[in-house]
Amino acid sequence: MENQNEKSIANLKHLLSICNDGKEGYKTAAEDADSPELKTLFSMYSIQRAEYEMQLKKAIHQLGGDPDNETGGPVGALHRVWMDIKTAFTKNDDKAILSACLTGEHSALEAYDKELQDTGISPEIIEIIAEQRNGISDCIKNVESLKTQYSS
């Protein structure tokens, strides 16, 4: 049975994979969006996810884990979500891209909420996860607003 430290490392690696998928998804969205406003926004979110990755890698390292040594885990479902998003990008339809981004972000938010329920995580790591979760939540609100705007 794994100890709490190993469990925390595995959970952080899961979030790291999610952030990487989001970073790459937003990079693709920025390339494929028609609107200059969306290109800028998606680039900003890609950079934000890269910053989240750095924070998570640091936390994994502090726990004694190797953030670059991926062992897999429950990221297959999220990967499929981002693959669906990438498919939407091939249409170069800003509304479809926004919808796909929302799907990915809702999946990410779910994963973050699950990790925040882990009572064995240190307060410092909880703070990092909560801050990133709030950033994802803010992103969802912004993208939902833009989706409404682009639906008009």
Helix or strand holding residue 68 (H, E): none
- Eight-state DSSP code of residue 80: H
Instruction: Please name the CATH architecture into which domain 4-66+75-151 falls.
Output: Up-down Bundle (1.20)
The pTM of this model reads: 0.85
Q: What is the mean pLDDT of residues 67-91?
A: 56
Residues of the chain with pLDDT > 70, as a percent, come to 83
| Domain locations along the chain | 4-66+75-151
Of 122, 114, 112, residue with least CA distance to 4? 122
Give the pLDDT confidence score for residue 76 in this predicted structure.
46
Of 108, 126, 91, residue with least CA distance to 45? 108
pLDDT digit string, tens, across residues 8-31: 898 899 999 999 989 988 998 898
Q: What is the mean pLDDT of residues 50-71?
A: 87
* C-beta of residue 16 within 8 angstroms of C-beta of residue 53: yes
